[in-house]
């Protein structure tokens, strides 16, 4: 939201949520008997949560990049690597939808929302059911609410096909996985399809947003070259008027 200059909305949200969460944290610390005991219980519960088969990146069915890589490595990524992936994905998405030279229309906004959904799914832990976040971008895509450049190339057909694959794979994955063994060939293929498709969609939509921005910038530059500079007519009229006054004064 900050990259799209929704500063006021972010400020209002922070003013509302920060005091509420701070009050709840203070209340929980007080009920737990102190900050030390609170942190100890919090750390213990975190490790228990990490050992859950549905949460552990090695055995989880999640769709984010961290889990995708962990499946092949056989162990969770270091937290520094996870943080790097988070910053990289959100950084690329923010760069693509930044307001500078951005076409301010509804079509680009729809594409931006799709990029934000993909970045959210890829950057932090999300299960397969969170793919429902892509429902709105899918509707926008098939109802031709994306930029016009999107429909004059391979991007439309490929994006629609990949989103359809996500829906079908969600059904097949939840039907087959309960009967398969983790880290088996079939299990790994089915689990990896979601993350692979999301990554392909992310790069396609980022590239599309970049091209739309370039076209908008080129159109803006062409218009500026054709149009006279602001105030040119006023300056010219003022110069003519001064010349007429001088000529009249001489006569």
Q: What is the pLDDT of residue 114?
A: 93
Of 86 and 239, more confident:
86
Q: What is the pLDDT of residue 152?
A: 84
C-alpha to C-alpha distance for 210 and 212, rounded to whole angstroms: 5
Q: What is the pLDDT of residue 222?
A: 54
pLDDT digits (tens, 9 = 90+) for 135-185: 999 999 999 999 888 888 899 999 999 999 888 877 666 655 554 455 567
Q: Mean pLDDT over residues 220-229, rounded?
A: 54
C-alpha to C-alpha distance for 204 and 206, rounded to whole angstroms: 6
Q: In this structure, how many other beta carbons lie within 10 angstroms of the beta carbon of residue 175? A: 10
pLDDT digits (tens, 9 = 90+) for 82-94: 999 999 999 999 8
The full DSSP string for 160-189 is: HHHHHHHHHHHHHHHHHGGGS-TTSHHHHH
**Entry pTM:** 0.76
Q: What is the pLDDT of residue 212?
A: 85
Whether the Cβ atoms of residue 122 and residue 89 lie closer than 8 Å to each other: yes
Listed residue (75, 79, 46) closest to 59, CA to CA: 75
Of 31 and 240, more confident:
31
Above 50 in pLDDT, residue 244?
no
Give the C-alpha distances (Å, rounded to integers) separating 16 from 10, 24, 27, 84, 164.
10, 13, 18, 29, 39
Above 60 in pLDDT, residue 8?
yes
**Length of the chain in residues, anyone?**
251
Domain map (residue ranges) of the chain = 1-51, 56-226
Which of 82-86, 127-131, 243-247 is predicted with the least confidence, judged by mean pLDDT? 243-247
Binned at pLDDT 50, 70 and 90, residue 228 comes out as low
C-alpha to C-alpha distance for 169 and 183, rounded to whole angstroms: 18
Binned at pLDDT 50, 70 and 90, residue 48 comes out as confident
Whether the Cβ atoms of residue 209 and residue 96 lie closer than 8 Å to each other: yes
Q: Mean pLDDT over residues 175-200, rounded?
A: 75
In angstroms, how far is CA 187 from the centroid of its own chain?
28
Whether the Cβ atoms of residue 108 and residue 147 lie closer than 8 Å to each other: yes
Binned at pLDDT 50, 70 and 90, residue 20 comes out as very high
Whether the Cβ atoms of residue 150 and residue 110 lie closer than 8 Å to each other: no
Above 70 in pLDDT, residue 79?
yes
Listed residue (159, 93, 103) closest to 124, CA to CA: 93
Give the C-alpha distances (Å, rounded to integers) separating 82 from 12, 53, 129, 215, 228.
30, 19, 21, 35, 52
Above 60 in pLDDT, residue 197?
yes
Q: What is the pLDDT of residue 232?
A: 47
């Amino acid at each position: 939201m900050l990259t799209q200059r929704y500063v006021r909305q972010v400020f209002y949200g922070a003013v509302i949520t920060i005091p509420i969460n701070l009050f709840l944290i203070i209340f929980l610390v007080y009920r737990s008997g102190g900050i030390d005991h609170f942190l100890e219980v919090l750390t213990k519960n975190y490790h228990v949560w990490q050992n859950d088969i549905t949460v552990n990146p090695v055995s989880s069915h999640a769709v984010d990049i961290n889990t995708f890589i962990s499946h092949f490595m056989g162990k969770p990524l270091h937290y520094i690597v996870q943080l790097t992936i988070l910053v990289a994905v959100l950084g690329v998405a923010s760069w693509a939808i930044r307001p500078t030279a951005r076409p301010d229309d509804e079509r680009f906004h729809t594409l931006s929302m799709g990029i934000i959904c993909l970045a959210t799914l890829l950057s932090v832990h999300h299960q397969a059911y969170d793919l429902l976040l892509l429902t709105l971008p899918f509707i926008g895509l098939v109802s031709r609410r994306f930029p016009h450049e999107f429909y004059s190339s391979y991007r439309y057909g490929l994006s629609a096909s990949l989103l359809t694959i996500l829906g079908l794979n969600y059904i097949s994955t939840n039907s087959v996985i309960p009967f398969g063994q983790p880290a088996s060939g079939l299990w790994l293929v089915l689990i990896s399809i979601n993350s692979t498709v999301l990554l392909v969609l992310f790069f396609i939509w980022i590239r599309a947003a970049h091209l739309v921005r370039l076209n908008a910038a080129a159109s803006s530059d062409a218009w500026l070259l054709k149009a006279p500079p602001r105030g040119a007519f006023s300056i010219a009229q003022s110069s003519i008027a001064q010349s007429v006054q001088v000529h009249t004064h001489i006569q």
